[in-house]
Amino acid sequence: MILGLSIFVMFCSVLLILLVLLHKGKGGGLSDLFGGGVTSSLGGSSVVERNLDRLTVATAIVWIVCVVGLGLLLNRGGV
Amino acid sequence: MLGAFVRAFRTPDLRNKLLFTLFILTIFRLGSVIPAPGVNSAAIRDQMEQVQAADDAGIYALVNLFSGGALLQLAVFALGIMPYITASIIINLLTVVIPRLETLKKEGQAGQGKITQYTRYLTLALAVLQATSIVAMARTGQLFQGQIRPETYLPDQSILTLVTIVFVMTAGTGIIMWFGELITERGVGNGMSLLIFTQVIAVFPSSIMGLWEEQDTWLFALICVAGLVLITGVVFMEQAQRRIPVQYAKRMVGRRMYGGSSTYIPLKVNQAGIIPVIFASSLLYLPQLAIGLLGEDSSNPVVRFLQEYFVGGTHPVYMATFFFLIVGFAFFYVAITFNPAEVAENMKKYGGFIPGIRPGRPTAEYLDFVLTRLTTPGSLYLGLIALLPMIALGTAGAQQGFPFGGTSILIMVGVGLDTVKQIESHLQQRNYEGFLR
């Protein structure tokens, strides 16, 4: 159980890092490769960007739940 | 004053931005309290109250300050924005050295974006490094100077758990970076500095409480008054600027008349803001990191040297290094951000001139001269303010954990003023629109 959850948390962490890196950091990141064209800062975010945001938030929620769960499991096991 | 707040919340656009910023900051603080898996933070807190000395040790205090107490609790966000700051410092310094980065910087927005992207990669690389060293230090109990037995807060010391902690902390840094960008993009103020601001503010009440319990009432009052005076002084210095008058010649473009107005270039006394202090303190954190990596055996001459001069934060050599680094970085940063030749060139293009000085090269020289003369007291002031708590520590024997530490005051005042100004400009935008339509 602990082993599985640990591996899952690691997997989620890596996924999260990749997702964050996919965001463009204030102008011209990797996401420009997918979006194509120049999206001005006034025009809001593109569809790709919005979906990326949603995906990141979802992953982050799963990640934090797993982290807390794992923490509880480990602490109970330790005591 | 209150009217402005009401107006800020009546503007739907601004209200959304403010609420969004607050929301992100709340999540950020929440993440700074959730312990990483396998860490028993209740045990740490218990022990900490008994020992008390652990979190006061010079350099750790500063790092812990930047992470809002999250570091010593081994929280999910334990690393805070430290890796991002270090990464941007390194990239900034490399811009001067590596020609490729310099061309990228001159390319404008696209190149700037690429530099940002490099910074982000470097941040995560540094995060892995720092997380590993912190976990290693926590495992041996070195993180708390051996005051707390590692078994109490890390009950399960298997490799699997330790690796998981490293992964979680690294991902946490990534999220923090993303938060900062989100605030910059959709909220008010600069995200990264607001995050630092939050962490500094977060430890403030507890250190005031600590002071209240330790000191007698009169000394407490005295320290509070001194802090207020200090804040007033810092606000004064941060706002101080020299206004260089610029006269624009009248010119006709088609049938329209342009120019003919006189404005000024505001040159702040402390043009660089708090960045030199942050640069210097995170640079001086490196020896600590090196010791953590090299191991603490005192036979190694490098370790012994570092330990004698650069750990603890009260040694004169340390203080002098800190001071000179701040002064140097202040000049360096001003040179990076404000280019007199470029400003003079732009002014010449649009028919502007400083009264009494020829446009072009003489103007650039004049601006350079004024800027250097302004930055000299500015950088000295920065260095002195940053050194103040250390001097107080060393000479007066004041209790450690002085809440009005120089760095934290500079950050609080600097970021606070910046954010308020941004909110105000948003408000003004609204009101002007209202007038005109």
Provide DSSP, B31-66. HTTSBPTT--HHHHHHHHHHH-SGGGSHHHHHHHHH
- Cβ atoms of B267 and B242 within 8 Å: the answer is yes
CA B69 to chain centre: 16
Mean pLDDT for chain A overall: 72
* Nearest residue in chain B measured CA to CA from A7: B164
Query: Does the reported pTM lie above 0.80?
Result: no
Please determine, for residue B314, whether its predicted confidence score (pLDDT) is greater than 80: no
| Residue B109 near chain A (CB below 8 Å) | yes
Using the Cβ of B242 and the Cβ atoms of chain A, whether some distance falls under 8 Å is answered with no
pLDDT of residue B324: 92
DSSP code at position B222: H
The CATH H-level superfamily of B1-202+408-437 is SecY subunit domain (1.10.3370.10)
Indicate yes or no: CB of B171 within 8 angstroms of CB of A26.
Answer: no
- Predicted confidence (pLDDT) at residue B404 exceeds the cutoff of 70: no
Calpha distance B6→B241 (Å, rounded): 30
Chain A touched by B164 (CB under 8 Å): yes
Helix (H) or strand (E) holding B154: none
Domain count, chain A: 1
- Give domain status of residue A34, yes or no: no
Residue A37: the pLDDT is 34
Tell whether A78 is covered by a domain.
yes
Query: Of B55-64, B226-235, B351-360, B384-393, where does mean pLDDT reach its minimum?
Result: B55-64
Helices (H), B98-158: 99-106, 109-140, 150-153
Say yes or no to pLDDT of B339 above 50. Answer: yes
Write the ipTM.
0.78
Query: A74 and B155 in contact by Cβ < 8 A?
Result: yes
* pLDDT for position B50: 59
Which structure tokens are listed for B242? 């020299």
CB pairs under 8 A between A and B: 106
> Where in chain B do CATH 1.10.3370.10 domains reside?
1-202+408-437, 204-404
Task: Give the structural domain span for A59.
Answer: 1-15+45-79
And the tokens for B42?
């209740």
Q: What is the pLDDT of residue B377?
A: 92
Q: How far, CA to CA in Å, does B351 sit from each of B260, B276, B362, B367? A: 9, 35, 15, 17
**Token pair belonging to B126:** 């540094």
Helix (H) or strand (E) segment spanning residue B79: none
Best probe of the A interface among B24, B149, B164, B192, by most A CBs < 10 A, is B164
Task: Please write the tens of the pLDDT for every residue from B160-184.
Answer: 888 888 999 999 999 998 898 888 8
- Does any CB of chain A come closer than 8 Å to the CB of residue B35? yes
Asked if A55 has any chain B CB less than 8 Å from its own CB, the reply is no
DSSP B55: G
Strands B262-268 and B251-253: unpaired
Preferred mutation among B161, B175, B177 to probe A, highest tally of A CBs within 10 A: B175
Residues in A closer than 8 angstroms to B178, CB to CB, are: 20, 23, 56
- Closest residue, chain B, to A18 (C-alpha): B174
Query: Which positions in chain A touch B193 (Cβ < 8 Å)?
Result: none
Of the candidates A3, A14, A63, which has its C-beta nearest B160's C-beta? A3
Whether A65 has its CB under 8 Å from any CB of chain B: the answer is: no
Task: Specify the pLDDT at position B93.
Answer: 79
Q: A4: which chain B residues are within 8 Å (Cβ-Cβ)?
A: none
DSSP structural state of residue B249:
P
Quick one: tokens of B43?
A: 């045990």
Band (B394; pLDDT cuts 50, 70, 90): low
The reply to whether A21 touches chain B by the CB within 8 Å rule is yes
Q: Tokens for A49, please give them.
A: 């960007």
Interface test with B, best of A22, A74, A76 (most B CBs within 10 A): A74
Contact A75 B185 (CB under 8 A): no
Q: Cβ of A42 under 8 Å from any chain B Cβ?
A: no
Q: Averaged over B392-417, what is the pLDDT?
A: 67
* B348 burial via Cβ count (<10 Å: 0-12, 13-18, 19+): middle
A74 vs B171: CB contact, 8 Å cut-off? no
- In percent, the amount of chain B with pLDDT more than 70 equals 80
pLDDT at residue B102 in the model: 81
For B177, which of A20, A60, A79 is closest by C-beta distance? A20
Is A22 a member of any domain?
no
DSSP notation for A8-64: HHHHHHHHHHHHHHHS-SSS-STHHHHH-S---STT---HHHHHHHHHHHHHHHHHH
Query: Which residues of B fall within a CB distance of 8 Å from A57?
Result: none
A-chain residues near B181 (CB < 8 A): 23, 25-26
Question: A64 in contact with B at a CB cutoff of 8 Å?
Answer: yes
| Mean pLDDT over each residue of chain B, to the nearest integer | 78
CATH hierarchy code of domain B204-404: 1.10.3370.10
Cα distances from B342 to residues B8, B269, B419, in angstroms, run 37, 20, 28
Confidence at B311, pLDDT banded by 50, 70, 90:
low
Higher per-residue pLDDT: B219 or B366: B366
Residue A38 covered by a domain: no
DSSP SS3 for B359: coil
